[in-house]
Amino acid sequence: MTAETLTAVVTGAASGIGQALAEALHARGARLVLADVNADALSTTAARLGATGVVTDVSDPAAMHTLAAQAPQARLVCLNAGVVGPSLGAPWEVPPEEWDRVFAVNVSGVVNGLRAFVPQLLAARAPAHVLITASLAGLAVFPGGGAYGPSKHAVTAVAQHAAMALADTPVRVSMICPALVATGMSPEGIAPALVADDALRAVDNGVFAVVPAEWQAAVATQVDEIVSGRQPTPPAPWPAG
């Protein structure tokens, strides 16, 4: 995908991974259409990067269609917006309204993005890419975590479904599944810029999923526990070194 002619859309672009993706794409010379629900932060980021900013609630299907109408030439769509939610306990400890909000942003935000953008990407009959921000928590189940982990499991399923459905078209799908990232969601973790670099490398190389190497065995172990009928156990990364 040539950066000189690339128009890219990034949701959740005013902070965290989304902002890092926008910065990395700007450095490549891409034309940017950035979306976020935070109008002030979006305006600041868009002005700094010379981008078009569109205030967007990704949980609103109409808002996502409006965003798509602002970027008819988009060839890369980064569906990145997400929230954690304040409750990090067991499923029954999370209030109903929190389940609704987390799933509305994290899952419906991706589905609304696919519904808004994929038809126009297909209509263009040219190579294009959808990049979905999932999470390690969407591949491995951790104790607690509230609604976030289950929502990201749904996101990884949607990403796989979309990739299969688009297999015989010019539109490709990639998803990134980072562990802890130092964003507004977490004070700890790796720098968002590193995640953005890995994500765009996956787009460049046509890679479907990016999973941290130190967690890959843990993901496989949990799948093995399921298919063998064993009780699930908390995942752990490979030891450093």
> Which CATH number is 80's domain given?
3.40.50.720
Same domain, 27 and 112: yes
The residue segments making up the domain with residue 221 are 217-241
Residue 11 phi, psi (nearest 5): -95, 155
Same domain, 47 and 96: yes
Output the pTM of the full model: 0.94
Same domain, 120 and 233: no
Helix axes 16-27, 192-205, angle to 10 degrees: 60
Same domain, 241 and 149: no
Catalytic residues, which ones?
Answer: 148
Residue 177 phi, psi (nearest 5): -130, 65
Same domain, 7 and 79: yes
Same domain, 62 and 155: yes
Same domain, 100 and 170: yes
Kindly give the residue spans of alpha helices, DSSP state H, lying in the chain: 16-27, 39-49, 61-69, 96-106, 108-124, 148-165, 192-205, 216-228
- The DSSP bridge pattern shows strands 7-11 and 31-36 to be parallel
Same domain, 202 and 239: no
Same domain, 120 and 230: no
Contact 55, 36 (CB under 8 A): yes
pLDDT for the residue 240: 53
What's the total number of domains in the chain?
A: 2
Same domain, 32 and 98: yes
pLDDT tens for the chain, residues 1 to 241? 554 579 999 999 999 999 999 999 999 999 999 999 999 999 999 999 999 999 999 999 999 999 999 999 999 999 999 999 999 999 999 999 999 999 999 999 999 999 999 999 999 999 999 999 999 999 999 998 899 999 999 999 999 999 999 999 999 999 999 998 876 656 677 999 999 999 999 999 999 999 999 999 999 999 999 999 999 999 999 875 4
Terminal Cα distance for the chain, rounded: 35
Same domain, 16 and 125: yes
Same domain, 159 and 226: no
